[in-house]
Amino acid sequence: MHLAPHSKLVMIGDSVTDCGRARPVGEGLFGAIGTGYVSYVDALLASAYPERAIRVVNMGTSGHTVLDLQARWQTDVMDLRPDWLAIMIGINDVWRQFDLPRQPECHVPLDTYAETLEALVVRTQPVVAGLVLMTPFFIEPNPADAMRARMDAYGAAVHAIAAQCGLPCVDTQAAFDAVLNHIPSAAIAWDRVHPNHLGHMVLARAFLQAVDFAWAAQPAAA
C-alpha cells in the first residue's frame, strides 16, 4: 500500500466530499470527517492498516468548483502540509451549466477548468509524496445524456492532466458505470449526483484501489 506510516492524507472537493465535515478542518471524532466516502476511506485504512496510523482529513466544501478550490488552496491544502492529496472536483463546474443555464457567471468552461486544475496540480505535486486525481461523475448510465456527456468531457481533462503529470487517476465514472449495469441510478443517488452509502462506498473502493490498498490485509502483529 502506497501510503507510508504516519502519512497525512487530505481529500478535497465539493459536496460529495464534504458530507457534513467539521469546520475549519474535517478531522476528529463524532462525525468531524463527514459521513461520505472520506469516512469510509478513513475506516478501511484504520482497520486494515492500524499500525500505519494514517491521518485522513476532509476538506470538501459543498457547492464548490475548481475556481473555489483555487481561492482556498493555500489554507485548505498547502498550510495543512499533507503527505498525500486526493482531488475530486468538477461536478458543480458542469452542473451549474444545466441547473443555472441563464447565469453564465456561475459556469466554469472546460478550458478554464482544465487550466485551473492543472495549475493546482503543478503547484502542489513537488511538496507532497503522492497526489491522486479523481474524475467528476454523473450517476447516469446513458452516455448520450447531455449532462453525462459534458461530465465525461471534464473527466477526460482530468485523465489528460494525470497522464501529463504522471499521476494516478481514479475513473469514478467507470466505477459507477460498473454498478449501474446492475442497479438503477435512483437506488444510488436521488439526483444522480449526491450518492447514498452505496455510492460513497463505490468512491472509497475506487480511491483505495489507486493507492494499492490490499483488501485481504490483516493488521500487523504487535
Cα 47 to its chain centre, rounded Å, is 21
pLDDT on residue 222: 59
For 163-219, the DSSP string reads: HHHT--EE-HHHHHHHHHTTS-GGGT-TTSSS--HHHHHHHHHHHHHHTT--TT--P
Q: Residue 216: its pLDDT value, please?
A: 75
CATH among 3.30.70.20, 3.40.50.1110, 3.40.50.1980, 3.30.930.10 for 8-210: 3.40.50.1110
CB atoms within 10 A of CB 109: 11
pLDDT of residue 3: 97
Catalytic one of 2, 99, 159, 191: 191
Are 41 and 11 in contact by the 8 Å Cβ rule? The answer is yes
Domain coordinates of the chain in residue numbers? 8-210
Cell of 152: 465525461
Concerning whether 194 is annotated as a catalytic residue, the answer is: yes
Q: Decide if pLDDT at 217 tops 70.
A: no
The active-site residue, picked from 39, 42, 107, 194, is 194
Residue 198 C-alpha cell reads as: 452505496
Any idea of the CA torsion for 43, 45, 48, 54, to the nearest 10 degrees?
-120
Residue 216 CB-density burial (10 A; 0-12 exposed, 13-18 middle, 19+ buried): exposed
Predicted confidence band of residue 218 (pLDDT cuts 50, 70, 90): confident
- Pick 219 or 178 by higher pLDDT: 178
Number of H helices, E strands in the chain: 8, 5
79-124 confidence digits (pLDDT tens): 999 999 999 999 999 999 999 999 999 999 999 999 999 999 999 9
Distance CA 28, CA 1 (A): 23
Catalytic residue among 7, 15, 39, 185: 15
pTM: 0.95
For residue 191, indicate whether it is catalytic.
Answer: yes
Active site residue 39: no
What pLDDT was estimated at residue 221? 64
- Predicted confidence band of residue 128 (pLDDT cuts 50, 70, 90): very high
